[in-house]
C-alpha cells in the first residue's frame, strides 16, 4: 500500500521535471494517517489534501526553489502502528508531519516527533495531546470547548439576545453542551433566563415550551438532537412563540427541516460547515480542485483542517525562508490571523487552535443552509 503511494509521488515529480529546482534536495513533508482500517476514508482524505497542496505549490516552483516531496505512512488508526510511523517518518528526514486523524494515533507518535524536533499538526483534540507541552504540537481542529464558546459569542455579542432560554435533553452530550453554553453565556455577561429539559423522543414538548413562553425569551437554544429539535421548532410555532430557535450541532440533519416543516425556515444551527459549504473563497477553490482531481468531495471538514496545517507549514517555510524546525515553530506560534480554509485562526503557546471554524447557519425555506455568521467575505 505504502509503496503504491510512494510510486505515485515519484511519478508526479517526474511529470514536473521541467521546473527549475532540479538538483536542490526536496523539502520532505510526512503524512501520518489511517490509509486502511475503520477511518480509511478520512485518512485517505488527509493524504489526498496534502498531496494536492504540494502538487499545486510544486507547479508554482515549489518552496524556496525546492520541490515538496510527500511521504505517507499508514498508521491504520492504531497507536502501535502510529509509533512505527513516527520513527519511519523522522528517519526519512521530514520537516513536518500532517495527521493523524485520530487523537490516539497522534498521541502515540507525539513524543517521537517532539524528540526529533519535527512539527506535528493533527486534528486530534484530546487534552492529553496538550499535557506534555511539546512545542512541536499544533492542533488544527478546534478544542472541544469551541462550540459553546462560539455559541455564547453569537447569542450575546452578535445577535444581542437579552433573554436566553436553554433547552436540553437528558443525554450526557446535550447536557454537557447546554451547561457549557450556560457557563460561557454568563462569562460574556449574557442573561440566561432558564435551563429547561425535555425527554428525548417523548414528542410532546408543548408543556415545557408553554412554560418557557410565559417567560418571553428572545431566543431558545436547543442542545439536543435533530429529531427532537425539529419538533421543538414546530411546536414553538404552534404555540405562537416568537423567539429565535438556535440549535446545536446535532440538529444539522436533513430531517430537521422536514420535521419542523413550514416552521423550519429562519431557524439557526451552529456547527462546523461541511467542506462544500465553507464560505471562504480559498476553501471553495480548494474543494473544487479536490473534486476535480479525485472525483469526490473531501470526506469531512477534518480533511480541510489538516490541509490548513499543511498550508500553515508551507507559509512558515516561505516566510522564514528556512526549514529549521526551531524557526518554523517560533513562526507558527506567533503567527497572527492565519487565513485558513476553515476560518481565521492562530496557535497559542500550547499549540491549541485559537479561532473556531464554527458558523451560524440559517435554515432556508427549501431546507438548504445559508451561513449568516461569520459574514461570508472575500479574503
Partner 1 sequence: MGTFVQQVFNGLTVGGIYALIALGYTMVYGVMRLINFAHGDLCILGAFIGLTMLTGAIGSFQPGIALLLLAFVVAIVVVAAAGLVLEFVAYRPLRKADRLAAVVSALGASMLIENGIMLIWGPEVHVFPAGLLPATIWHVAGASIAFVQVMIIIASVLLMAALYLFVNHTRFGTAIRAAAIDQDTARLMGINVNRVIASVFVIGPALGAIGGLFVGIYYREAYFTMGWTYGLYAFIAAILGGIGNIPGAMLGGVLLGLFNAFAAGYVSSSWQDAITFGLLIAILLVRPTGLLGERVAEKV
Q: Is the peptide bond before 374 cis (omega within 30 degrees of 0)?
A: yes
CA-based torsion, 223, 228, 231, 236: positive or negative: negative
Q: Which is nearer to partner 1, 208 or 312 (CB)?
A: 208
Q: Which is nearer to partner 1, 241 or 287 (CB)?
A: 241
Q: Which is nearer to partner 1, 201 or 281 (CB)?
A: 201
CB of 206 to partner 1, least distance (A): 4
User: CA 134, CA 121: separation in Å to the nearest integer?
Assistant: 12
Q: Which residues, 6+ apart, have CB-to-CB distance to 112 below 8 Å?
A: 83, 86, 87, 90
Q: Which is nearer to partner 1, 131 or 211 (CB)?
A: 211
**Residue ranges binding partner 1 (CB under 8 A):** 170, 196-199, 201-204, 206-208, 210-211, 213-214, 227, 230-231, 234, 238-240, 255, 258-259, 261-262
Contact call for residues 230 and 330 (beta carbons, < 8 A)? no
CB of 159 to partner 1, least distance (A): 24
Q: Which is nearer to partner 1, 162 or 238 (CB)?
A: 238
Q: Which is nearer to partner 1, 115 or 170 (CB)?
A: 170
Q: Which is nearer to partner 1, 215 or 348 (CB)?
A: 215
Contact call for residues 178 and 155 (beta carbons, < 8 A)? no
| Kind and range of the H or E run holding 339 | strand 338-340
CB of 213 to partner 1, least distance (A): 7
> What are the angstrom distances between the C-alpha of 304 and each of 41, 195, 277, 283?
14, 35, 12, 8
Q: Which is nearer to partner 1, 108 or 196 (CB)?
A: 196
- The cell numbers describing 161, all together, are 439576545
- DSSP character at residue 250: G
Q: Is 197 helix (H, G, I), strand (E, B) or coil?
A: strand
Rounded to 10°, the helix 325-334/301-320 angle is 120
* Strand segments (E) across 140-223: 164-168, 192-197, 219-222
Q: Which is nearer to partner 1, 56 or 249 (CB)?
A: 249
Buried b (16+ CB within 10 A) or exposed e, 8-40: ebeebbeebeeeebeeeebbbbbbbbbbeeebb
Contact call for residues 30 and 71 (beta carbons, < 8 A)? yes
Give the per-residue SS3 of 261-301: HHHCCCCEEEECCCHHHCCCHHHHHHHHHHHHHHCCCCCCH
CB of 227 to partner 1, least distance (A): 5
- DSSP character at residue 135: T
Amino acid at each position: 500500500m505504502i509503496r503504491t503511494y510512494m510510486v505515485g509521488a515519484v511519478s508526479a515529480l517526474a511529470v514536473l521535471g521541467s521546473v527549475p529546482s532540479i538538483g536542490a534536495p526536496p523539502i520532505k513533508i510526512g503524512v501520518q494517517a489511517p490509509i486502511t482500517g475503520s477511518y480509511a476514508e478520512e485518512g485517505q482524505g488527509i493524504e489526498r489534501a496534502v498531496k494536492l497542496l504540494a502538487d499545486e505549490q510544486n507547479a508554482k516552483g515549489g518552496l524556496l526553489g525546492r520541490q515538496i516531496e510527500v511521504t505517507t505512512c499508514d498508521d491504520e488508526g492504531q497507536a502501535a502502528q502510529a509509533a512505527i510511523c513516527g520513527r519511519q517518518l523522522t528517519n526519512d528526514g521530514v520537516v513536518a508531519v500532517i495527521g493523524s486523524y485520530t487523537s490516539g494515533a497522534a498521541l502515540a507518535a507525539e513524543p517521537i516527533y517532539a524528540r526529533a524536533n519535527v512539527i506535528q499538526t493533527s486534528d486530534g483534540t484530546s487534552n492529553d495531546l496538550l499535557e506534555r507541552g511539546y512545542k512541536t504540537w499544533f492542533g488544527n481542529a478546534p478544542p472541544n470547548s469551541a462550540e459553546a464558546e462560539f455559541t455564547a459569542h453569537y447569542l450575546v455579542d452578535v445577535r444581542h439576545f437579552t433573554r436566553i432560554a436553554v433547552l436540553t435533553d437528558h443525554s450526557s452530550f446535550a447536557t454537557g453542551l447546554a451547561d457549557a453554553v450556560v457557563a460561557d453565556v454568563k462569562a460574556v455577561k449574557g442573561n440566561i433566563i432558564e435551563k429547561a429539559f425535555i425527554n428525548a423522543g417523548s414528542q410532546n414538548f408543548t408543556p415545557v415550551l408553554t412554560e418557557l413562553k410565559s417567560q418571553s425569551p428572545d431566543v431558545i437554544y436547543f442542545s439536543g438532537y435533530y429529531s427532537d429539535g425539529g419538533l421543538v421548532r414546530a411546536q414553538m410555532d404552534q404555540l405562537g412563540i416568537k423567539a429565535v430557535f438556535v440549535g446545536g450541532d446535532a440538529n444539522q440533519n436533513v430531517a430537521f427541516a422536514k420535521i419542523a416543516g413550514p416552521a423550519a425556515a429562519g431557524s439557526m444551527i451552529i456547527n462546523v460547515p461541511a467542506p462544500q459549504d465553507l464560505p471562504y473563497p480559498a476553501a471553495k477553490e480548494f474543494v473544487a480542485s479536490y473534486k476535480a482531481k479525485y472525483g469526490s468531495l473531501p470526506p469531512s471538514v477534518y480533511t480541510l483542517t489538516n490541509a490548513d496545517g499543511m498550508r500553515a507549514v508551507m507559509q512558515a517555510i516561505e516566510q522564514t525562508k528556512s526549514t529549521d524546525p526551531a524557526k518554523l515553530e517560533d513562526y507558527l506560534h506567533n503567527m497572527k490571523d492565519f487565513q485558513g480554509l476553515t476560518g481565521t485562526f492562530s496557535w497559542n503557546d500550547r499549540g491549541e487552535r485559537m479561532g473556531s471554524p464554527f458558523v451560524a447557519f440559517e435554515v432556508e425555506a427549501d431546507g438548504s443552509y445559508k451561513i449568516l455568521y461569520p459574514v461570508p467575505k472575500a479574503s
